[in-house]
Each structure stands twice: as C-alpha cells, then as structure tokens.
Structure 1
Amino acid sequence: MTSSPRDYVRNTVKEKLARDEVVLSMIVRLTRGIEIASIAQTAGFDSLYVDMEHNSFSLDATGQICMAAQALGVTPMVRVQSLSAEVIARTLDAGALGIIAPHVPSAHEAAAVVQAAKFAPIGERSLPGPMPQLRFRSFPAAETMAAMNDATAVVMMMESREALEDVEAIAAVEGVDLLLVGTNDLCRSLGIAGQYDHPLVKEAYARTIAACRRHGKHAGIGGLGSRPDLMQAIVAMGARYVSLGNDLTFLLSGGTAAVKALRATAPG
C-alpha cells in the first residue's frame, strides 16, 4: 500500500533539470483529446504543456490531458491565460504539475505567481482536498502540501524588454524554477520582430542564462521551433528546457512534406 503522496508525484522536468539534462517539451494547441499524451510519450517528449493562452481549450479538457500525461510519465504543465491567482489555482487543481506564466514583467508579478501556485509555507494556495495528481487519495495535509510544492514547477516567461531588465530579480524569487524566453514576443518588444539572428536575441538568452546560474534556477528556449540551429547553440550556452514546437505545427509540417514529396513525382 502506498503510504506517501511523494510516491505519486514525479516531475520529470524538475528531476532532469536538477541533473543538468536537456528537457524536451511539446506545446498542445490543437488536440483536445487525451490521445496527445500518448503521442507525446511515444515521440519521446519529457513534458507537454497545454497552451490556454492562445486557444479556446476548456479547463476540463486541459485537466483530462494533464491526468493522462502524468499517468504516462510525461510531465503536464499549462500556460495559463492570465496571472490571476484564481486561474492558477484552478489549473493546478485540475491536474497540472506546472504553471507557465506568460508576460511576467517583473519580480513583483513573479512572486505573486509563486504565492498562487505553492502551498504554505512558500505560498498561499488553498488545499483542495483529494487531488488528481495523487489519484484522489487522501494524505495528511502537511505531507500533501510538501510533496506538491516539490513536484509543482513554476515557470516565468521572459517576453518583454521590461522582464529582461528585471531578469536578475525575477530569477532570485524563491519558488521560481525556470525562466522560459518567449523569443517571438521578446523580439517584438525589442523592435526586432522575427529577427531571430539579431544580436539582441543572443544577448537576451545570455543574460537570462547567467541570471539563472547565479540564483540556482534554469533557463528555457521558446519560440524557436523553426530554428534547430539556434536551439542547439542556446543549449550549448546553458539553456536546458527546450520547447520544440506545437502539435499543430508538427501536423502541418509532416502533412505538407508528404504532399510535396508525392506532387514532385506524380504525373502532370
């Protein structure tokens, strides 16, 4: 008989990052069914995150995907649609093992996200009772809160000039695990939209990685799925979490390549 909540919650992302290994993640933007969790595992992804910021996913569908992914050993995270404490808490209660907070402008907002995502003594999250991450088993409150605090990843997206200017303070916030650079929005904020080869992009990653190292945190790559050369270079710089792309892009690229290959050889 399992006697501890820690026996149920394993966060592959946090474990691999602690060993300085590269974590590969897929964004879920299209697929509403739990099949995407099995696809992610078969493809070899360590993690997936449901993107509730940029689509119309329901919380119910998000929770179902998260529970299916956790059961398969694929760490489920969610990019929430806002930084409100209510949204963060409900998303975690639904089954996520990590929160990706978009458009975090400063350490003040980063600290508020931690407060919403973590139980006491780190944060102020309300204890919901039996939880999907624990297969709805009941454990002593103190054990549950400690286990879930350790297992829940808190990720801040660096997507603006303001965030980059405050990167040192954001990385220093207790309870933050990872700073994920959102390259597309960061480029837009810096006035270099779409210019991934611009020196400012490399500089932004260098500053983020350096801040993470100084404060014992980890750095991640986002928005560069079309540029594997840049992702490899940034991993070499020290980034360890890599968002490789989303299910929609993978489907379109595979389908487009198949059509082009046959069109090139078909008569007429």
Structure 2
Amino acid sequence: MPRSAQDILRNNVRDKLDRGGVVASITVRLTRGIEIARIAKTAGFDTLYIDMEHNSFSMDTTGQICMAALALDIAPFVRVPANTPEWISRVLDAGALGVIAPHVGSAEEARAVVAAAKFAPLGERSAAGGLPQLEYRAFPASESYPVMNRATMVIVQFETVAALERAEEILAVDGVDMVMIGTNDLTADMGIAGQYDHPRVREAYQRSIDICRRLGKHCGVGGLSSRPDLVAEFVKMGARYVSTGTDAAFLLQACTAKAKQVLDLEP
C-alpha cells in the first residue's frame, strides 16, 4: 500500500519536460468514452487534453476520461471554456492534472489562473478532499498540498499579439509552468491567418522559447498538425510539448485513406 501522497502521484509529463524530453499530446474533441484514454496509451502519447473550449463535453464526461487516463499513467489536461475558478477548480477536482487556459493576455490573468489551480501558498484553490489524483485517499494538507501543486500544471496560451508583447511578465508569474502557442488564432490576430511560414510566426516561437528557457518554463506547439516540418523546426528551437491534433481529425484522416484505397480499385 502506498505510504504517502508522493508515492501515489506522479505527473509523467512534468517529469519528462524537466528532463528535456519532447511530449506528445492528443486533443480529445470527439470521443466521449473512456476508451480514448486507452487508445492514447496504446498509440504512445504522453498526455491527452480534453478541449472543453471547443466542444460540448459535460463535466461528467470530462471527469470520466480524466480518471481513465490517470489509471493508465497518461497525464490528463483540460482546456477550460473560461479562465474562471468555477471551471478550473472543478476540472481539477474531477481528475485533471493540468489546466490549459486559453486567451491569456496579461500577468494579472495568469495569476488568476494560478490562484484557481493551486493550493496555498501558491494559490487559493479550495480543498475538496478525497481527490481522484490521490486515489481518494485522505492525507494531511501539509502533505497533499505540495504534492498536488507540484503535479498540477498551469499552461497558458498565447493567441494574440498583445499576449506575445507581454510574454515576459506572463511567464514570470510563479505557478505558470508552460505556454502553448495557439498558432491558428495567433496568425489570425496578426492578419496573416493560416500563413504558417510567415517570418512573424517563427519570431513568435523563438521569442517565447527564449523567454521560457531563461525563466525555467516550457513552450508548446499548437495548431500545426498539418505542418510536421514546422513542428520539427520549433522543437529544434527548444519547444518541448507538441499538440499533434484531434481525435476527430485522426479518425477522418484514416477513414478517408481507407475509402480512397478501395475506391481506387474501381476498374
């Protein structure tokens, strides 16, 4: 039987990032069953993140997938639909090991996310007791809070020029662990929607990566599933977390290829 909270709880993604490894993530936007956690594990992903910003998943569905992922040692993250305590604390209480906060544009907003995600003294998250991350076991707060704070990742997204201009102050916020560049929204805000090869995109990644390296944080790549060449370039620059695409896109891609394979047999 585990003797401590630390014996139970590990975040393999944080550990891998801290070792300088590259993390592969799948975005869950279609599949409502816990099977997606096993598929992610079998496929070799380090983590999955449930995209509540862009789908109609319920809190119950989100929690079930998170708990299935925990049991398989796949770190479950959730992109919340709003950066508010009632969303952030609930997805974490449901089993998530990290929160992805979209559209963060200032240090003040980043501090609010940290406050909702972390227990004292780093934040103001309310004690729920019997957390799924700790197998519903009870531990003294003096033991569980540091372990939960260490394991729970706060990931902010840069999706506007304004956020990039404030990158240093945002990433300097204590408790922010990583930034993920939302390349699609960022290029749209720049007025170059979809122009992934534009020099401003490379500049955005280089600046974010340099700041992360200086502050001991991590940088992630998002929105570039169609451009593995650019993903490779940004990983070589120093990005270490890659959002590879959505379950819906992977399913459609495989189905399309199979249908074409058969239809091409027509004489």
TM-score in terms of structure 1 length: 0.98
Deviations 1:108-158 (A, max 9, x none): 101110011000010000010111111111011111111100000110001
Partner of 2:205: 205
Q: Which amino acid aligns with 2:180?
A: L
TM-superposed deviation, 1:189: 0.6
Alignment of 1:60 with 2:60, yes or no, is yes
TM-superposed deviation, 1:74: 0.5
Other structure's SS at 1:119 match: coil
Partner of 1:195: 195
Q: Which amino acid aligns with 1:251?
A: L
Q: 1:8 & 1:48 partners in 2: Cα distance?
A: 20
Deviates more, 1:119-128 or 1:5-14: 5-14
TM-superposed deviation, 1:60: 0.5
TM-superposed deviation, 1:263: 1.3
Q: Which amino acid aligns with 1:241?
A: Y
Equivalent runs, 1:153-172 vs 2, <5 Å: 153-172=153-172
Equivalent runs, 1:18-29 vs 2, <5 Å: 18-29=18-29
Equivalent runs, 1:102-181 vs 2, <5 Å: 102-181=102-181
Q: 2:187 & 2:13 partners in 1: Cα distance?
A: 26
Q: Which amino acid aligns with 1:41?
A: K
Q: Which amino acid aligns with 1:128?
A: A
TM-superposed deviation, 1:8: 1.7
Q: Which amino acid aligns with 1:172?
A: A
Alignment of 1:31 with 2:31, yes or no, is yes
Q: Which amino acid aligns with 1:130?
A: G
TM-superposed deviation, 1:266: 2.2
Q: 2:8 & 2:59 partners in 1: Cα distance?
A: 22
Q: 1:128 & 1:107 partners in 2: Cα distance?
A: 27
Partner of 1:76: 76
Other structure's SS at 2:194 match: coil
Q: Which amino acid aligns with 2:218?
A: H
Q: 1:208 & 1:249 partners in 2: Cα distance?
A: 27
Task: State the identity as a percent.
Answer: 61
Deviations 1:11-36 (A, max 9, x none): 11100000000000000000000000
Q: Which amino acid aligns with 1:167?
A: A
Other structure's SS at 2:76 match: strand
Partner of 1:225: 225
Q: 1:170 & 1:216 partners in 2: Cα distance?
A: 13
Partner of 2:46: 46
Q: 2:253 & 2:68 partners in 1: Cα distance?
A: 26
Q: How many residues align?
A: 267
Equivalent runs, 1:87-102 vs 2, <5 Å: 87-102=87-102
Q: CA RMSD in A?
A: 0.7
TM-score in terms of structure 2 length: 0.99
Q: 2:133 & 2:115 partners in 1: Cα distance?
A: 20
Q: 1:199 & 1:34 partners in 2: Cα distance?
A: 41
Q: 2:155 & 2:46 partners in 1: Cα distance?
A: 16
Partner of 1:254: 254
Q: 1:264 & 1:237 partners in 2: Cα distance?
A: 41
Q: Which amino acid aligns with 2:146?
A: A
Q: 1:96 & 1:9 partners in 2: Cα distance?
A: 12
Q: 2:71 & 2:15 partners in 1: Cα distance?
A: 17
Other structure's SS at 1:99 match: strand
Q: Which amino acid aligns with 1:155?
A: I
Q: 1:71 & 1:62 partners in 2: Cα distance?
A: 15
| Uncovered stretches (5+) of structure 2, i.e. residues with no partner | none
Q: 1:160 & 1:238 partners in 2: Cα distance?
A: 21
Q: 1:52 & 1:191 partners in 2: Cα distance?
A: 26
Other structure's SS at 1:30 match: coil
